[in-house]
Amino acid sequence: MDFAWDQADVAFRRELGDFLDRELAGWDRSETGLGSAVYSDFSRGFVGRLADRGWLTPHWPREYGGGGQGAWQHFVLGEEMWRRGEPRGPQYMNVNWVGPAIIKYGTEDQRRKLLPPIARGEVFWCQGFSEPEAGTDLAALRTKAVRDGDSYVLNGQKIWTSYANVADYCFLLARTGSAADGRDGISVFLLPLNTPGAQVRRIPGFVGDHSFNELFLTDARIPADCLLGEENKGWEIVRRTLAYERVGAPRYARAALVLDRLAAEVGASGRLADPGIQEQFGRARAACEAARVLVYRVIDERAKAKEPSPRAYQARAAMVQAERAVGDLALDVLGSEALVEGALGDAQFRNSLGAGIAAGSYEVQLNLISRLILELPKD
Ligand SMILES: Cc1cc2nc3c(=O)[nH]c(=O)nc-3n(C[C@H](O)[C@H](O)[C@H](O)COP(=O)(O)OP(=O)(O)OC[C@H]3O[C@@H](n4cnc5c(N)ncnc54)[C@H](O)[C@@H]3O)c2cc1C
């Protein structure tokens, strides 16, 4: 691939950066918890202003509220957002993969009804995949959807559902076949969260206040047209969805920002002259840069409309390494100060813990790399 940016992308990044510097003056994500009312309220207003400029879903087709732009422009947007702490909040899920999944697998009615509100920044979605006994082993999920006339009736429990407390819809996985069908008996539902029988309960978590939730479904009845794609064919949708999710969030950009702030803090104390500390900073910076170029390779594949490849696993594993390198560095150089709640080091350390679990754990990415890229034997 050609790593040089073209003039149009450079100009776009500059224009976007100027807009964000104005819009985000005084906004500090570290002061608000993910999923907190303050954070979500800010995001709702902010994404509306982005949408007004056509910058929320620039890569979607125009007929569904997109700008008809390419994968790179969308990615430049993602990088600039994450460099500033991701002010779009839960919207990154909508625009990166919920919308594209509906574009690819939805009926025309679903597209016309569900996509424009996302493109205008009016709705939040959450992702209802994990269950108490089904995380990594997603095919073990037990939430049931039973067809009853023109409806499906949902029963079961989801866990770790980020943003469910503020979301309008859930991109939900449920079993429509038998347990023995494994991954072949799973379907995707586009569940309105105001459905009677759908109840969200918050759970405390290490990432920040109010970020995690459980979703309980008790005889929740939804119209049959909430099914996305074909019944029992949800695994294919999820496989592609997770490929988008793995690199959709350029977390290395936020890690690099934290690294710069750490360097400024440590530099002010004169400790940057220490060769040991310099080496640690160098290693963390190299990890961020490695993640950046590995992610670019995946975006290049997408821009060329290739099928998602195992390179996405490498890119995501490298992003986890970058986040961890910066989190560990913060603990090393700031000492006990890094553990003060809400401090830069504390936020980075928590983020790096979550990064290695959310969207498929780090160890599982390594397994996939060993099998699909290095072609090592399974045992
Ligand atoms: C910040 C954050 C946000 C999240 N948001 C959401 C969300 O919005 N929606 C949602 O549905 N879920 C969400 N999750 C849940 C996440 O997807 C699961 O936690 C994840 O898939 C792991 O599942 P588990 O917790 O059941 O752990 P397990 O599957 O029980 O794994 C526990 C440990 O065992 C290891 N392990 C398991 N299987 C293997 C294997 N085959 N080889 C090697 N090691 C293995 C794992 O690496 C892990 O370290 C979120 C999690 C986090 C941390």
Which parts of the chain register pLDDT below 50?
A: 31
pLDDT at position 223, please?
Answer: 98
Per-residue model confidence as pLDDT tens digits over 144-171: 999 999 999 999 999 999 889 889 999 9
SS3 label, residue 126: strand
Q: 130: Cβ below 6 Å to ligand 1? A: yes
Separation between Cα atoms, residue 299 and residue 85, nearest integer Å:
21
Ligand 1 centroid, distance to 361 Cα (angstroms): 5
Contact 95, 66 (CB under 8 A): no
**Mutation to probe ligand 1, out of 357, 362, 366 (largest number of atoms < 8 A from CB):** 357
Ligand 1 centroid, distance to 212 Cα (angstroms): 13
Q: Which two tokens stand for residue 241?
A: 């969805």
pLDDT at position 359, please?
Answer: 78
SS3 label, residue 15: helix
**In angstroms, what CA-CA distances link 147 with 123, 139, 151?**
27, 20, 6
pLDDT at position 89, please?
Answer: 81
C-alpha neighbours within 13 Å on the C-beta side of residue 203: 13
Per-residue model confidence as pLDDT tens digits over 200-244: 999 987 766 567 899 999 999 999 999 999 999 999 999 887 777
Q: Tell whether the torsion through CA atoms of 79, 83, 84 and 87 is positive or negative.
A: positive
Q: 127: Cβ below 6 Å to ligand 1? A: yes
| Nearest residue (CA) to ligand 1, atom 41 | 364
Residues in contact with 29: Cβ distance below 8 Å, sequence separation at least 6, in sequence order: 39, 84, 85, 86, 87
Ligand 1 centroid, distance to 136 Cα (angstroms): 5
| Nearest residue (CA) to ligand 1, atom 7 | 161
Domains assigned to the chain: 7-123 (1.10.540.10), 127-235 (2.40.110.10), 250-373 (1.20.140.10)
pLDDT at position 207, please?
Answer: 66
pLDDT at position 96, please?
Answer: 85
Separation between Cα atoms, residue 349 and residue 59, nearest integer Å:
32
Q: 129: Cβ below 6 Å to ligand 1? A: yes
Ligand 1 centroid, distance to 271 Cα (angstroms): 38
The backbone torsions φ and ψ at residue 143, rounded to the nearest 5 degrees and listed phi first, read -55, 130
Contact 198, 215 (CB under 8 A): yes
pLDDT at position 209, please?
Answer: 58
pLDDT at position 148, please?
Answer: 97
Contact 92, 248 (CB under 8 A): yes
| Nearest residue (CA) to ligand 1, atom 2 | 358
